[in-house]
Chains A and B, each alone.
Chain A
Amino acid sequence: MSRFLFPKWSNLLLPTIIAAALTIPLYAVFFVAYGLSPKTLEVGYQPKQPVPFSHALHAGELGMDCRYCHTSVEKAAHASVPPTQTCMNCHTQIRPQSPKLEPVRESYETGLPVEWTRIHKLPDFAYFDHSAHVNRGIGCVSCHGRIDTMEVVYQKSPLSMGWCLECHRNPEINLRPTSEITNLGFDSATDLTAEDREALKKKYHISPSEDCSTCHR
């Protein structure tokens, strides 16, 4: 019986294995960082809502202020989804027979809520406060994007901790006068100078905390 001899090409195995050992971990890191990032998993969530409500029409074309419906945003941590009555302020008279409004009419008659699907969700251990932000120069658009151009709302920002901290460490670029809070077309980066933003930072006493307990309790 002849002895087994490795063929000559097997000399290539060692460099190949070394190359693989170097690239595969890199690949895995890339896969996790890029693929499992909230920018991949969370951004772009655009669920189908029970009523095809168009923000593009109401907030965009009609120019309704965000606060007409989301009334609690300046006073509370939670920016409230409006009650059915708010829809019916107008829709008892405007297109009251529209089939799209069927769930709203049903809710109006039964008193049961319209079951909207929540899009922006933080983990239960993170405590975000809308009022703390909108009353001190952070506009809706900074986190939610151009809602006034969205037919169907989707999640614009990753809402990850890294993303929060990015702004907490460098808030200037997102500051705007409180009068422009709901003006989604206003862009702090281009409509204000660096001095303006610095002045706003002073005026609103902005020194965002990076302590754990700021958001986690």
Chain B
Amino acid sequence: MIPLPPRWMIFTGILAACALAIPPVVIARVRATPDENRAVHIFFDMDFQPKFKSQAENPLFADGRAQRYAVEGTVAQGETMLDSHLYEGAVNGKWAETLPEGMSMTPEFLARGQQRYNIYCSVCHGYAGWGDGTVNKRAMELMSNSEGPVQGTSWVQAKSLHDPVVREHQLGMLYNIATNGIRNMAGYGAQIDLEDRWAIAAYVKALQLSQDASLQDVPPELRANLQTNSKQGEVK
């Protein structure tokens, strides 16, 4: 039998070994739980450089923005926006019926329009344009609350793009609405690129055709494939 050291020494040893188990437990806990505070930065290297990244803060300016607006009254090169067809959707004071120069109605253009429409427009107007998007649905629910509209909600049912009036809208007008908004709808000129807004207008036209087609519009050899479960429940 090996002679053992004094009791207090054995006791301290066991205690120290147990203490070693604490840090891993703490680390495991930190890993498993979210934290409101950013971790202490240990190695700085060149992580924080005296420069401004996109949308960063610059306390030098009153509004705190590092990114500056163009100086008032100035126009950047190529941004005179004099082409009223391209920028406003109007030709000689009338809504344009055609795409501006440089854009053409190709399947790719329409596909782009569809993709952009699904991102920016479908939330209210719905994927098929019937004014049944998810945001619209939720807003209507908030309106029909039994104790009155929730927190001042004042939503007007999103327009169906197949409304007879909207069907009459020219391409240029649709573009202009997408850009500047209309009635309760905000303008999307800042959110969607110029060419994409034209693509959306073109797609809306296609969408309108698709929901207002007659059997004669379908090639004879494909008519048999038609299913009669369209939104209106019947094929005209």
Answer yes or no: do A and B interact. Answer: yes
**Contact among A45, A65, A86, A90 with B35 in the assembled complex (CB-CB below 8 Å):** A45
Using known A-B contacts A94-B153, A95-B150, A125-B47, determine if residue A9 contacts B120 with beta carbons closer than 8 Å.
no
Stretch from B49-57, B74-82, B99-107, B164-172 contacting the other chain: B49-57
CB interface residues, A 1-53, toward B, < 8 Å: 7-12, 27, 30-31, 34-36, 39-48
Question: Which residues on A sit within 8 Å (CB–CB) of B64?
Answer: 112-113, 115
Nearest residue (CB) in A for B29 is A40
CB interface residues, B 1-52, toward A, < 8 Å: 2-6, 20, 23-24, 27, 30-31, 33-40, 42, 45-49, 51
Any A CB within 8 A of the CB of B135 = yes
**Contact among B38, B42, B135 with A36 in the assembled complex (CB-CB below 8 Å):** B42
Nearest residue (CB) in A for B49 is A124
Contact B46 A123 (CB under 8 A): yes
Any A CB within 8 A of the CB of B151 = yes
**Roughly how many angstroms separate A113 CA and B4 CA in the complex, as a whole number?**
71
Contact A44 B35 (CB under 8 A): yes
**Roughly how many angstroms separate A67 CA and B31 CA in the complex, as a whole number?**
30
Contact B134 A62 (CB under 8 A): yes
Contact A95 B35 (CB under 8 A): no
**Roughly how many angstroms separate A42 CA and B119 CA in the complex, as a whole number?**
31
Question: Which residues on A sit within 8 Å (CB–CB) of B24?
Answer: 30-31, 34-35
**Roughly how many angstroms separate A41 CA and B26 CA in the complex, as a whole number?**
12
**Contact among A43, A68, A111 with B31 in the assembled complex (CB-CB below 8 Å):** A43
Question: Which residues on B sit within 8 Å (CB–CB) of A30?
Answer: 24
Contact B34 A154 (CB under 8 A): yes
**Contact among B6, B55, B139 with A81 in the assembled complex (CB-CB below 8 Å):** B55
Any A CB within 8 A of the CB of B118 = yes
CB within 8 Å of A: which residues of B? 2-6, 20, 23-24, 27, 30-31, 33-40, 42, 45-49, 51, 53-55, 57, 63-65, 115, 118-120, 123, 134-135, 138-139, 142, 150-156, 184, 186, 188, 190-193
Closest 10 CB pairs of A and B: A97-B152, A41-B39, A78-B54, A46-B34, A124-B49, A123-B47, A95-B151, A89-B186, A65-B119, A9-B5
